[in-house]
């Protein structure tokens, strides 16, 4: 596990973008795993700048997203399909047909989970998977539970996630209660994982996940068992608890 503590959130985004870009430059048809939420926005802006300056091309890249809300169409303002188009896909040269996100409006969400897993099998191992972390330790929408879901699943969002995400909706009642989420087993198959966490609100859960007990009640704690290369990029606020309790880990 490698820690990088940037000077601020913007620099954390730049550093994360550099790591992602390095993978794409090495393998122009890389499969990159992407995430939504507030945290990766600086990273996406930095990747767009690299594309605009001619430094980076996504022309052969394939992307897979972690999750999507059930019930939101790809054009809904809060769907993750739209988030990805507005914050990355429409602003770089990635072909639309190379971008994969679970459908939130399948008539049969369980069948959609199976379809997504078949697609992941066809694409092969993800070269680098970006992850955020929820306030409750979720990764993708894998919520605290008594087991780790292996494959893509239909999940019920926890109250704390609904509350956290209600900031994006006009009212908490409008936040979907279910989502399709790539399973933990699938996430751990990635060759490399980039965990991005910024802000004071993530300090405690980040420390608990990466140094505490490994338990499905803190889903991100499974990352302690991850066999590939895990890079954790933070800002000073998110890193504060790790810095205080584990001074041997310097980023
Ligand atoms: P955030 O979400 O980036 O908006 O904090 C992270 C997550 O819930 O995984």
Give the Cα separation of 2 and 249 in Å (integer).
Answer: 9
Give the closest residue (by CA) to ligand 1 atom 2.
37
Is pTM beyond 0.95 here? Answer: yes
Residue 251 confidence (pLDDT): 53
Give the closest residue (by CA) to ligand 1 atom 8.
134
Let me know if 121 is a catalytic residue: no
Of 136, 145, 151, 229, the catalytic one is: 136
Distance from residue 251's CA to the centre of ligand 1 (Å): 22
Let me know if 14 is a catalytic residue: no
Token couple for 8: 């601020």
Counting residues of the chain whose pLDDT is more than 70, the rounded percentage is 100
Let me know if 136 is a catalytic residue: yes
Q: Residues 193, 202: contact at Cβ < 8 Å?
A: no
Task: Select from 38, 135, 202 the residue to mutate for testing ligand 1; criterion: most ligand atoms less than 8 Å from CB.
Answer: 38
Let me know if 67 is a catalytic residue: yes
Closest ligand 1 atom, CA of 139? 9
Distance from residue 62's CA to the centre of ligand 1 (Å): 23
Q: Residues 116, 182: contact at Cβ < 8 Å?
A: yes
Burial of residue 199, with CB atoms counted within 10 A of its CB: 0-12 exposed, 13-18 middle, 19 or more buried: middle
- 230 φ, ψ (degrees, to nearest 5): -105, 120
Residue 250 confidence (pLDDT): 75
- Regions of the chain with pLDDT less than 70: 251
Distance from residue 138's CA to the centre of ligand 1 (Å): 9
Distance from residue 34's CA to the centre of ligand 1 (Å): 12
Residues 6+ away with beta carbon under 8 Å from 11: 235
CA distances from 157 to 202, 232, 237 (A): 19, 25, 26
Residues with CB under 6 A from ligand 1: 37-39, 132-134
């Amino acid at each position: 596990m490698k820690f990088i503590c940037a000077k601020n959130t913007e620099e954390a985004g730049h550093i994360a973008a550099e790591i992602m870009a390095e993978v794409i430059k090495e393998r122009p048809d890389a499969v990159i795993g992407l995430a939504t939420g507030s945290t990766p926005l600086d990273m996406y802006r930095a990747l767009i700048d690299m594309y605009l300056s001619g430094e980076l091309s996504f022309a052969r890249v394939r992307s897979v997203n972690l999750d999507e809300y059930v019930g939101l169409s790809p054009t809904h303002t809060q769907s993750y399909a739209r988030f990805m188009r507005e914050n990355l896909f429409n602003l770089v040269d990635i072909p639309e047909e190379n971008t994969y996100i679970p459908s939130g409006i399948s008539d049969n969400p369980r069948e959609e989970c199976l379809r997504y897993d078949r697609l992941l099998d066809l694409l092969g191992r993800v070269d680098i998977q970006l992850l955020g972390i929820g306030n409750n330790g979720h990764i993708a929408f894998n919520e605290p539970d008594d087991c780790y879901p292996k494959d893509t699943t239909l999940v019920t969002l926890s109250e704390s996630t609904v509350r956290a995400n209600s900031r994006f909706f006009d009212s908490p009642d409008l936040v979907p209660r279910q989502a399709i989420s790539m399973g933990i087993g699938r996430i751990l198959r990635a060759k490399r994982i980039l965990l991005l966490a910024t802000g004071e609100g993530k300090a405690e859960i980040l420390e608990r996940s990466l140094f505490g007990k490994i338990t499905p009640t803190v889903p991100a704690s499974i990352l302690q068992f991850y066999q590939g290369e895990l890079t954790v990029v933070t800002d000073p606020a998110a890193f504060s608890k790790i810095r205080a309790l584990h001074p041997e880990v310097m980023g």
